[in-house]
Amino acid sequence: MNLYDFIGKRVRVHLYNREGIAVGTVTGRVADVAPAVEVSPGMKKDLVYVVDIETGSPDVPYQNSAGEANESWFAVQDIEVIEADKPRFFVN
């Protein structure tokens, strides 16, 4: 799948803490992509910008590390495209 094919798709994002332990999931829609972003010295990742993020609880909105609500950048490796008529599979 081409990175730009993600734009407009509904996705499930798998969230991890800094130790790499899964802490949950959120869902949203991909609004933008950024290929080969240097996320740390010598490490590049393809990123997607997810908007309209839902946590599964209307009382607990998603807030990213910059304080913005219901939108954030995520690594492509942490998302899966949601398609109602197909079984769940990771995108990579």
pLDDT tens, residue by residue, 6-30 = 999 999 999 998 898 999 999 999 9
71-88 average pLDDT score:
83
Average pLDDT, the chain: 89
**Is residue 84 very low, low, confident or very high in pLDDT (cuts 50, 70, 90)?**
low
> What CA dihedral angle connects 41, 45, 48 and 54, to 10 degrees?
-80
* pTM of the complete model: 0.84
**Contact indicator for 50, 68 with CB cutoff of 8 Å:** no
pLDDT for res 85: 56
